[in-house]
Structure 1
Amino acid sequence: MPGRHTPPSWSIWSGAAPSTSYRDATPTPLATWLLDHPEVEIICRDRAGAYAEGARTGAPQAVQAADAWHLWKSVGEAVEKTVAAHYTCVRAVFEKPPVPEPTTVPTGDDGPLAASIGTLDVCGRERRLVVRTRERFALVQDLLHEGASLESICHQLQLDRSTVRRFARATSIDELLVKTINRSTILDAHRPHLHQRWNEGCHDTAQLHREIAALGFTGGIRAVRRYLRNFTPSAPTPAPRSAPRPRRVVRWIMTNPGNLLDEDALSLKEIRVGCPELNAVTDHARDFAEMMRDLRGDQLPQWMERVEQDPLPALHSLVDGLRRDQDAVVAGLSSPWCSGQVEGRNTRVKLLKRAGYGCANFDLLRKRILHRT
């Protein structure tokens, strides 16, 4: 990150790698080590509560600065949740169905559009997987509001704990449906050819199946017949555009506008026009990036107030977390200290470990780490 410094001898870097769980972290080891090193003046750390408490106990004289890398990572996670919650808007921008969907579909919280994009089968009914997801989400949320624990919900609904946790943490049903409605099929690559040949006047399903089979399609004729069922012979059908994956949209939002390709910038502009929430989250992410780049931590309170004015639950949760550790966050955004080198070395060690997984012992791993240039 521009403007970030390497750690001097009188500062320490505390924190775990991004994929490490903080569940078992305790403040005692850090506090004990700091008591033996009173020369520490700056502590750059992530926002785990155990490290904050350990730093306060062991080095009350030190300035705590939240690591900018972890702050930007937290912003990215909030953006990703927001994109998932509003992914139906992205699909509405890029994918135009050949004919309007039936008007008697369940509307849900976001209106008919959310139910009509990718959630219906060829007969206009909600897909079974979508119905099951809606039912489970409603059951889990109702039990949580009644005060039930995750363990008791697992037993009552006969679901795996990870599944219940995913339904409990979701801020909306669309966040859960994004993977369901965005699954690719073997027919996707051949959809433009089908649309082109249909508009040229070829309406013979068997002939169209033979053509795409020659192009590499491995499915049966029934898949082609189901896809063409809603096409109208007398009306041309525009070729569909494939909606970008959620992670790709997140990357567009989190990238400096000056570094975006022209076509990516145009696609993001279309998304922002079609979805006010994604337009707002893009502005907030870019404002945070400028604040972090220019070391203007004093602007954090105003940024949090602007975020709270928009209906963005994921960013509201982020703001709540920042407020609990606001002094360290402001210090991290105002100073050049960063744990980038530590995170880089952690990543290198993990790569070496995974490369020898199952084929090497600890002694060999230690030698590979020490001798790796």
Structure 2
Amino acid sequence: MEETSPPLESLLLPSIADVSVLSLDVSHEAIHIDVCSTAAGAACPDCGSESTRVHSSYLRFPADVPSGGRLVVLQLRVRRFFCPESSCARRTFAEQMPGLTRRYSRWTERLRSTLAAVGLALAGRAGARMARTFGVSISRSAVLRLLDALPEPQVPAPRVVGVDEYATRKGRVYGTVLVDVETRRPVDLLPDRGASSLAAWLAKRPGIEVVCRDRAPFFAEGARAGAPQATQVADRWHLWHNLGEAAERAVARHRPCLRVLVPDREGQADEPAPPEEKADSPWRSERFANRVRTRHATVHALLEAGHSRRSIGRQLNMTHRTVKSLADAAKPEDLFRGQWQHNRTSVLDEYKPYLDERWDEGCTNAWKLWEEIVPLGYRGSYGRVSAYLREKRTSPRPVTAQPPAPRVVTRW
């Protein structure tokens, strides 16, 4: 029995009706397909009247999805028809092939859907780069326009909705975000965080069974008014957050009691601190101190070897004043004697006992402590308080055992 090959239309354009392929030209770079419509007429896009009276024809060259690494270009013979309706404002119109072309488009419908799918997955810049890899030149703005033209997806009404606020301008302008808790996807955004807006949104969706929210009173009022049938629950994050705050306050309040239960380590309370960690050390930076000691020893070694101060300056690339100060100092500590005074008075001295007491109680927040001592008469800056607490935080800890900090217990 003789086998018949399928027509080119079913192979090249399987989902397009009323289309005839006239010729096919394949080269190393592109595939050119000559196509025309086989429909008897077309409908006017304005009035919808069918017309078979041809006015003229012209060629269109829309790009199609590449095939086998080659560009696919369609050569369409498009007819222009007269509109038979005398009352219609449009006198002539060009035919469109459903599923293949649309007005003013340089791409076929399947290439447009392919580029839109790439844009949905990769967005503008990355989508344009990916499109160029399979031979379609497109800008990131064109990819974004394709995404804007897509219809809004049909989102099913949520059963469990989460309600929270978001900031468009933090501290000033807030809105409400609604999330489908089961799919973890945002559902809608409201322009404010008022109870009336939330109630109106919930009233349009009677299928909502659970409203998951924080403890804001306006959200509670809106949920009661808009979804009286729904069960209101506190979300997991706020439960943990509130529990952590309560635990931290309780531990900070009872921390002096824990100090009695922690015994001191015997034999370590009177151990002297290492020389490099003494509080009265004149060196602010041990690295800087070592560098000065090295330069001092080098200068004195050259002096003992018989070199003059001028030759030492040339050899070590030092000024005459630097060589003189190093040579006149018997030891490195003499260079900066009296430069840093550790017994200077500070506006914070009067409030240090209070800060130490609050520190021992477990309050280590510099901003909070600064707000506490300002009503007591402190007129200094927040930076001074922060520096003092930073020194306490980074200084070597005493050898006596301390009870755990409130935040450590809260993490437990």
TM-score by length of 1: 0.29
Question: Which of these two proteins has the greater Rg computed from alpha carbons?
Answer: 2
TM-score by length of 2: 0.26
Q: By percentage of residues, which structure has more strand? A: 2
